[in-house]
Amino acid sequence: MRSNQASGNSATFTETARRAQLLRCAIEAIAESGYGRASLAEIARRAEVSKGVVSYYFAGKDELLGHVVADVYTRAGAAIGARLATEDDPAGKLRGYLEANLAFLREHSADIRAVVEIAANSRRPDGTLRFAPGDADPVLEHLAELLRAGQHAGEFRDFDPHSVALVIRGAIDTASGRLVTDPGFDLGTYTRELITLVELATRKFP
């Protein structure tokens, strides 16, 4: 009985490791060669497996890319959550949110390049962008809730949290695009200036 359980755990560990490897190879292929050239065959070559192995774990390129986006967002969310847990007041949490977001961009440039490529190119059967923001956007709503908390605590001025969250997320997404297209982009300076702008825009003055 123990032998079977151990064997099952080993198989699960191996499969998890293989899926993680394929996701990493997909990210590298897209980041280095672009969306169009990142075929399942190219991803398999990088992983040193057959294309059939990739197809065993993922039904096709669309499913694989969906998992890539989910994986990057999950890791980014974990990093942001860990940073927010170190802050007690709403202003500190907002500053931490910005710092953690932009730090993740700096430390995971290949991941960001891959997600930008996928978001710009992956389409549904009807031709619409597959990863275009919709009415229900949990990333945007999380930020809006941070802003509401600051208002309820009396730290932030009166403004529309949804609109301000859109502006802030737009600035973060702009940084993502710049990292992909502009080798001279100074993310450190951008981070400092964005934090200053957001603090001035949200601060409650006497």
Q: So what's the pLDDT on residue 1?
A: 36
Residue 93 · residue 146 · CB < 8 Å:
yes
pLDDT at 124 over 90: no
Both tokens assigned to 77: 């969310």
Both tokens assigned to 119: 């978001």
**Could you say which of 1.10.3720.10, 1.20.1260.10, 1.10.357.10, 2.40.50.140 is the CATH number of the domain covering 60-202?**
1.10.357.10
Q: So what's the pLDDT on residue 10?
A: 59
How many CB atoms lie under 10 A from the CB of residue 183?
A: 7
Both tokens assigned to 150: 């600051």
Residue span(s) of the chain under CATH 1.10.10.60 come to 1-58
pLDDT at 104 over 50: yes
Q: So what's the pLDDT on residue 9?
A: 64
Which amino acid is it at 74?
T
State the alpha helices, DSSP H only, in 34-160: 40-47, 51-57, 61-84, 90-107, 109-121, 138-152
Alpha-carbon distances, residue 2 vs 93, 122, 124, 128, 144 (angstroms): 47, 45, 46, 51, 49
Q: Give the span between the Cα atoms of 28 and 16, in whole angstroms.
A: 18
CATH 3.20.20.70 fits 1-58, yes or no: no
pLDDT at 4 over 70: no
Residue 3's pLDDT band, with cuts at 50, 70 and 90, is very low
Q: Give the span between the Cα atoms of 117 and 136, in whole angstroms.
A: 22
Its pTM stands at 0.86
Residue span(s) of the chain under CATH 1.10.357.10 come to 60-202
